[in-house]
A = this chain, B = another copy of it.
């Protein structure tokens, strides 16, 4: 019974992830979620109080997976370069694997304070993880650095979502590029060649 309950719970989350992710919050109907989950409309409300709450649950599950996996990966590596590459790789690959479900991340419902609160908390946790790496490197302004890094990765991921022909290799290349950029700056390689006094 409890496994049946949990099975339906998961089925709803999966269906909602699929639909919210590809269509967005407002474009997705609860009846569609129910249908895709293979259950009746009313049943969804036995597991989730409202559409907003369902969206929040979907988001939460996705974000928690993101943070947990990042944690595992970061623990397994050492140098700054390596850690930044791991973060970037994780960020970009995570979205690469979910490129069909991008709407989840920017077609959310407005005015739902719980969701806003959760997203804020998620960002803080993600920030903290990245900040820790920055701090370990001894960089000044680790907070701004972390924020910048996340911003860079977020924008680089846009290519993944918008360009159809994007490959996994492209994603990996960008991950390394981002790490290099934050360690050496934009002129890193050029400076090595022509500006010896500065590097």
Number of copies: 4
Per-residue interface assignment for chain A, residues 159 to 199, with 1 indicating a CB less than 8 Å from any chain B CB and 0 otherwise: 10010000000000010011001111111111010011011
In the assembly, what is the distance between CA of A196 and CA of B182, in Å?
17
Which B residues are in CB contact (< 8 Å) with A158? 147, 151
Known: A144-B174, A147-B156, A155-B147. A139 touches B187 (CB 8 A): yes
Which segment, of A9-17, A39-47, A52-60, A102-110, faces chain B?
A: A102-110
B154 and A154 form a contact (CB under 8 A):
yes
Which B residues are in CB contact (< 8 Å) with A144? 156, 174, 177
A152 to chain B, nearest CB (A): 4
Which B residues are in CB contact (< 8 Å) with A184? 185
B186 and A134 form a contact (CB under 8 A):
yes
Interface of A, secondary structure class, is helix
Per-residue interface assignment for chain A, residues 1 to 34, with 1 indicating a CB less than 8 Å from any chain B CB and 0 otherwise: 0000000000000000000000110110000000
A177 and B138 form a contact (CB under 8 A):
no
A162 and B120 form a contact (CB under 8 A):
yes
A177 and B137 form a contact (CB under 8 A):
no
Whether A140 is near chain B, meaning CB under 8 Å from some CB there, is: yes
A28 to chain B, nearest CB (A): 10
Q: Could you give 20 example pairs across A and B, Cβ below 8 Å?
A: A23-B111, A80-B187, A136-B199, A137-B198, A138-B195, A138-B199, A139-B199, A140-B190, A144-B174, A144-B177, A147-B152, A147-B156, A147-B158, A148-B178, A151-B152, A151-B153, A151-B154, A154-B155, A185-B185, A192-B198
Closest 3 CB pairs of A and B: A138-B199, A151-B155, A185-B185
